[in-house]
Structure 1
Amino acid sequence: MSAAPKPSKALLVGSSPLDSSSEFFSTVLQTLTGRLDQLPDGETGPRKLFVAWQKSVFPIEILQPRFGGPPSGESIMKKYTLEDIRPTGYDDDAIASYAIFRELKRAEKVPKHVRFQVSLPSPLGVVRFFVEDGAICAQVEPLYEERLIQAVKRIQEHIPPWELTIQWDVPAEIAILEYERGGLQDKYWKPWFENPESAILDRLGRLAKAVAPDVEMGYHLCYGNKGNVHFLEPPDMDLMVHLTNQLVQAISESHDIAYIHMPVPKDRRDAAYFQPMAGLDLHDTELYLGLVHAHDEDGTRQRLEAAQRVYPDITGVATECGLGRSSREDFQSILEICASVTA
């Protein structure tokens, strides 16, 4: 049996340790030109810590105490409206970074086919991050969803559809489903809604409908990386494969899914971790595996070979998660490994 061919592409999940979008574009293009179909802006500045910068969007009285909030009976009883939730700001950052991207493309420094990638969290994930009380979550999640969809619409008004990719980052959804399976015990992840899998697919379906048909759309399935540690070390890829198949079936009716990204922990290069991929049903959706780890090219190749023995049709490689907490040295190593292990 001949070896599977090298994947041809790399995916940059989102954040970086660099200081500006201009620096990010320049650094990445020096190493990965020809291997990218999408190019994010590096989520520099406050965005490098994922959704932490969204704290100011919410009224302080509903925030968890660790974020400075004093939740009380009064805050739970209050009826919140859209006016209580500020605009997210994701649109402002995307539009500003796209202007730099556009100039680089005009200067032929970005290949013509490459799209500008905007990575966005799900409303469920943002609300769960900041708000602990389930009754308040139930109130404000639809309001934050409306604000985020407003941002998505404005992004699409300023960026041509043929140059835009929307990537949905879904760590909270993974955590809730793992809680339902018994993998997580912390009741923080207990959903405040019934029928979690169906409810999550409904939520992601609404977000997909906000993305114009000609705008490319992908998903980053995520186990987190706070302190470079997952909230749960996945025993294998079973949950990710199951959710992916459900997404492809449910979402593709309203919007094509261009790609799915799944993480691979550094110490997993065994057949058992990858075996569930034999059940993937992706149709035309591309698969990126987050198996690139800094300063570990040999391990990266071993993880890739183990995965390809189960599922040969791997489109590209990536890291497990965003790189906002990584060092510059680690970031450069990751870019070089991505280039080395792709065709």
Structure 2
Amino acid sequence: MQSASMTNASIQRDRARLRLLLRLSLAGVVFTTVVILIGVWTRLVDAGLGCPDWPGCYGRLVVPDAERAMAHSPDAPLEAFKAWVEMVHRYVASALGLLVISLLALGAGLRRRSGYPWRTSVALLVVILLQGAFGAFTVTLKLWPQVVTLHLLGGLAVLLLFLWLHLSLRRFAKGAAAPGVARRRLTPLWVIAMLCLLLQLALGGWVSSNYAGIACQGFPTCNGQWWPEMDWSEGFHLTQTVGPNYLHGQLHADARTAIHQGHRIGALVLGLALIALALRYWRENLQRPWLGGLVFAYGIQVGLGIANVLMWLPLWLALLHTAGAVALVLLLALAVWHWRESAVAAEDSTRRDKEWVHV
């Protein structure tokens, strides 16, 4: 009787722990979205170098007064608003790291259970640590575009891992994660759509980090021309010198125009990939809501991008454009998840997708 009572108590503890893990992982998705938007806001108000050092601000954990800041870094005068914006970003990012560590600690007792997503939890910790390093490099390398772009992509990677962990925990809680459960493999169309979105996100980060958001004025033309003067080699020169202060950018106008135009072309390619994906799988009832939402979100995102150009990149609209990118990432990830979890044979779908790609 005592043994059975202890077993029941252990089961109840595991269930309570699992419920907490589900809530925390979902909170991680929401919190990461907030951190990404705060990071973008920090950049848009030119506060990325509000504190010239890292992890503190002028050597302190809170923003000091002007006298102490001057004593610490006489070549970087304190701008209190920008310093506080940067430090708030660091505080919330640190809190996100603590959330990841909490998830790992809570899940340690379940890691040997079949189907528990322990590897995803560890991967999340590794990525959040790398993200912290990129945050430091963003400051110490003075907004070097390569690092800024990777920092944005890293934030989206954290978001995806939180979502994947939450979905995996839900599957584990339902007992549907036993070995041998058939899951469909990704077909070529899915892979193409994912790669197109990744490329477009990288291009968006490159536009932002090189301050090319309004390098093209007007739409659908760019500076009054369909194909203006552009310097592609300089715009996408990925071995730029480390050292200058990249606040407000270092590239000339034609290079920034090439970056902006590349982002527009990427948006067109992404749209074609998403529409092809939706048309191919529209007849599948389980996929229709996700694919419909994905195409709809893409349309909204295109509209936001055009509005940003026509309205000269207002802060609130630029933040909405970033939120739209986050929505695309989440919707595509959810569509991929439900595709893989659908108990349908993969071979016929793979064959048909290859035919679509070749056509």
Question: Does the TM-score normalized on the shorter chain lie above 0.5?
Answer: no
Q: Select the structure with the greater relative contact order (CA < 8 A; seq sep ≥ 6).
A: 1
Larger strand proportion of the pair? 1
- Normalised by the length of structure 1, the TM-score is 0.30
- Normalised by the length of structure 2, the TM-score is 0.29
| Bigger Rg over Cα | 2
